[in-house]
Amino acid sequence: MKRFEQAEVMGKLPEQFFAKLVKKVSHYVEQGYDVINLGQGNPDQPTPQHIVEALKEGADRPDFHKYSPFRGHGFLKQAAADFYQREYGVTLDPVKEVAILFGGKVGLVELSQCYLNAGDVALVPDPGYPDYWSGVAMAGATMETMPLRKENEFLPKYDDLHETVLNKAKLMFLNYPNNPTAGVATESFFKETVELANKHDILVCHDFAYGAIGFDGQKPISFLQTEGAKDVGIEIYTLSKTYNMAGWRVGFAVGNESVIESINLLQDHFYVSLFGAVQHAAAEALNGSQQCVDELVDTYERRRNAFIGRLNENGWNVESPKGSFFCWLPVPEGYTSETFADYLLEEAHVVVAPGIGFGSEGDRYVRAGLLTSEERLIEAADRIAKLF
């Protein structure tokens, strides 16, 4: 069979590190082992029933069987604006400051296509979500990393970034509550970010995927709550985590009017928006009862307490995450993140994600997801304890 030469950009895409992890896990599952998989970021709970019913209702509407408006239905944009007003006190123009996305991941990749040219510089967190790298690579741009370390609460230290790097940077990615470190942002940090972005003319993209998931009574803050944030950036929100809608592929970008227009313009050439019934259900999620969100956060907090509590009881001194549904666990001496993850899989049949998959700064940690029952999380902690 004839093989055609790929475009050069295909060779620049980062390795899908977690595809290798899935292959390893599948081997043990196929061998019949009872594997506890804490390595994924896929919500384990079903989408709330009132949202599912809204999808069914929408599917019966003939007007939704036609092409959707290129830039999405106005009712979903209004729902996103109402959501931000209710949850964060942020006022948005639904026409000019909201863009509908095929899930948050798409927006994160698209933004680099909109604003980076070959040779431009993007600031990315290390460790961080690997798809930031994908968009930068497709644009032919260069990445400069911002280390996220425990001693600074997993927030980047802007003072450590060289002035020449800041002057070249055109785009910055942030993500709080953070994947994978579970760190959370503060008002003072976001204020500092706005000041930095203004000084160096940097577009800020805040990935707010875990915006609903904060613990100990602390609600995560939106970047757009910061004075001047809309002048320098946008925020990307997905319904995947808040409403267990990962497979529905629906999210939105909000903020700076010119950036929203750029995203819409690019998407005009890629898509004809989402199926109308999905948009109808998404609006119901945003506008309807939020009791399901409160219950979900309570579930993750109980799981966190059960898992972290048992790990500490068993002698592995780890800190409780403040947000997201991940735990960022330090690797014992003598291991890399990958060799330790392999050891847990081989000997305890517990899956965690090696931190190196999120960047070089992650190699001292593994990521565990709170995406199974309290009983299974406790069992995972006990299996790990038997190895030490």
Host domain of residue 148: 49-287
Q: 249-262 burial by CB neighbour count: b if 16+ within 10 A, else e?
A: bbbbbbbbeebbeb
Q: Do both 318 and 278 map to the same domain?
A: no
Q: Do both 152 and 257 map to the same domain?
A: yes
Residue 119 lies in a domain: yes
Domain end call among 258, 287, 316: 287
Q: Measure the CA–CA gap between 246 and 274, rounded to whole angstroms.
A: 15
Q: Measure the CA–CA gap between 320 and 297, rounded to whole angstroms.
A: 15
Residue 2 lies in a domain: no
Q: Give the residues across from 125 on adjacent strands.
A: 146
Q: Give the residues across from 206 on adjacent strands.
A: 174, 235
Residue 34 lies in a domain: yes
* Cα-based torsion angle of the residue sequence 111, 117, 118, 124 in order, rounded to the nearest 10 degrees: -40
Whole-angstrom CA distances from 157 to 152, 196, 328 are: 7, 11, 19
Q: Do both 229 and 261 map to the same domain?
A: yes
Residue 3 lies in a domain: no
Residue 228 lies in a domain: yes
Model-level pTM? 0.96
Task: Provide the pLDDT for residue 45.
Answer: 95
Is the CB of residue 109 less than 8 Å from the CB of residue 131? yes
Domain end call among 253, 287, 321: 287
Q: Do both 18 and 158 map to the same domain?
A: no
Task: Provide the pLDDT for residue 314.
Answer: 94
E strand segments, the chain: 36-37, 98-101, 121-126, 142-147, 169-175, 203-207, 233-238, 251-255, 326-330, 350-351, 353-354, 365-369
Residue 249 lies in a domain: yes
Structural domain count of the chain: 2
Task: Provide the pLDDT for residue 353.
Answer: 96
Residue 63 lies in a domain: yes
Domain end call among 239, 257, 287: 287
Q: Do both 40 and 56 map to the same domain?
A: no
Q: Could you tell me the CATH number of the domain that includes residue 35?
A: 3.90.1150.10
Q: Do both 304 and 366 map to the same domain?
A: yes
From first to last of its 388 residues, the chain has per-residue pLDDT tens of 889 988 988 888 887 777 778 888 898 999 999 999 999 889 999 999 999 999 999 999 999 999 999 999 999 999 999 999 999 999 999 999 999 999 999 999 999 999 999 999 999 999 999 999 999 999 999 999 999 999 999 999 999 999 999 999 999 999 999 999 999 999 999 999 999 999 999 999 999 999 999 999 999 999 999 999 999 999 999 999 999 999 999 999 999 999 999 999 999 999 999 999 999 999 999 999 999 999 999 999 999 999 999 999 999 999 999 999 999 999 999 999 999 999 999 999 999 999 999 999 999 999 999 999 999 999 999 999 999 8
Q: Give the residues across from 354 on adjacent strands.
A: 366
Q: Do both 39 and 69 map to the same domain?
A: no
Q: Do both 55 and 40 map to the same domain?
A: no
Q: Do both 148 and 281 map to the same domain?
A: yes
H-state helical runs in 145-202: 163-168, 187-200
Is the CB of residue 349 less than 8 Å from the CB of residue 343? no
CA 108 to chain centre: 10
Q: Do both 375 and 275 map to the same domain?
A: no
Neighbours of 282 (CB within 10 A): 29
Q: Do both 195 and 320 map to the same domain?
A: no
Q: Residue 1 class from Cβ within 10 Å (0-12 exposed, 13-18 middle, 19+ buried)?
A: exposed
Q: Do both 187 and 227 map to the same domain?
A: yes
Condensed to tens digits (0 to 9), the pLDDT of residues 139-162 reads: 999 999 999 999 999 999 999 999
Retrieve residue 308's tokens.
């972290």
Q: Which amino acid is at 189?
A: F
Q: Could you tell me the CATH number of the domain that includes residue 163?
A: 3.40.640.10
Length of the chain: 388
Residue 121 lies in a domain: yes
